[in-house]
């Protein structure tokens, strides 16, 4: 079973996404900031992370940088999401595989998930 780590400081949206992903047959885990997510990622080595950009403690960009710098996550795909436009984020960080502007439709997310890691 493919593992997905959902990282969002707005815990409600992270939990909802996790439930949807579990219904689709994935193993989904939640974290509320980049630091907590990093601990979990090192433990489970997810196939995919869906990470929010603005978070306390460690933001999404810093978390993704840490993943990219660690070879054990060489195959982990990163979907970054934010309420901000992508252009505003790309100025600071571009090391993700896909970007979703919040609020997004679940179909758009599932299409990306399937494209990156299949079922």
Partner 1 sequence: MTSSTTDNVSPIERLRSAVPGLDQILGGGLFRTGVYIIQGLPGCGKTILANQICYGHVAEGGSAVYVTLLAESHSRMIQHLSTLSFFDVKAFPDKLAYISAFHELETAGLKGLMAVLRREMRTRKVGVLVLDGLVAASEGASDLDLKKFIHELQSIAVLQDCTVLLLTSGNLHRMAAEHTMVDGLVELEDKLFEARSERSIQVRKFRGAGPLRGKHSMRIDNDGITVFPRIESLYRIAASDTTTSERAVTSGIASLDGLLAIKGVPASSATVVIGSTGTGKTTLGLHFLHASTPEEPGLHLGFFEGPDRLRSKARSMGLALEPLEASGAVELMWQSPVEATVDEIAERLLAAVARRGVRRLVIDGLSGFLESTVYPERIARFFSCLVNELRNRRVTVLMTLETRDVVSSVVSMPWGVSGLVDNLFFLRFVHDEGHVERLLTIIKMRDTDYQAGLRRLKIDSHGMHIAGTYRADGDVIPSAQPVASPEGAAPSPSK
Query: Which residue lies nearer to partner 1 by CB, 11 or 44?
Result: 11
Question: Exactly one of 38, 48, 55, 78 binds partner 1 (CB under 8 A); which one?
Answer: 55
- According to the binding rule CB under 8 A, does residue 53 interact with partner 1? yes
- According to the binding rule CB under 8 A, does residue 56 interact with partner 1? yes
Question: Exactly one of 42, 44, 75, 85 binds partner 1 (CB under 8 A); which one?
Answer: 85
Q: Which residue has the tokens 């571009």?
A: 94
Residue 103: is the preceding peptide bond cis (ω within 30°)?
yes
- According to the binding rule CB under 8 A, does residue 110 interact with partner 1? no
Q: Which stretch binds partner 1 (CB under 8 A): 6-14, 42-50, 72-80, 108-116?
A: 6-14
Residues 6+ apart with CB under 8 A from 55: 7, 8, 9, 32, 33, 34
**What DSSP string describes 39-89?**
HHHHHH--SEEEEESS-SSS-HHHHHHHHHT-GGGTT-EEEEEESS-HHHH
> Which positions touch partner 1 (CB under 8 A)?
9-11, 13, 32, 53-57, 59, 61, 82-85, 88-89, 92, 102-103
């Amino acid at each position: 079973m493919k593992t997905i780590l959902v990282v969002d400081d707005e815990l409600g949206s992270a939990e909802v996404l996790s439930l949807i992903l579990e219904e689709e047959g994935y193993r989904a885990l939640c974290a509320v900031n980049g630091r907590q997510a990093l601990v979990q990622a090192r433990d489970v080595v997810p196939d995919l992370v869906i990470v929010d950009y603005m978070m306390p403690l460690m933001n999404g960009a810093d978390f993704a940088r840490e993943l990219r710098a660690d070879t054990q996550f060489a195959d982990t795909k990163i979907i970054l999401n934010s309420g901000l436009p992508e252009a505003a984020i790309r100025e600071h960080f571009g090391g993700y595989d896909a970007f979703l502007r919040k609020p997004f439709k679940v179909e758009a997310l599932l299409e990306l998930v399937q494209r990156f890691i299949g079922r």
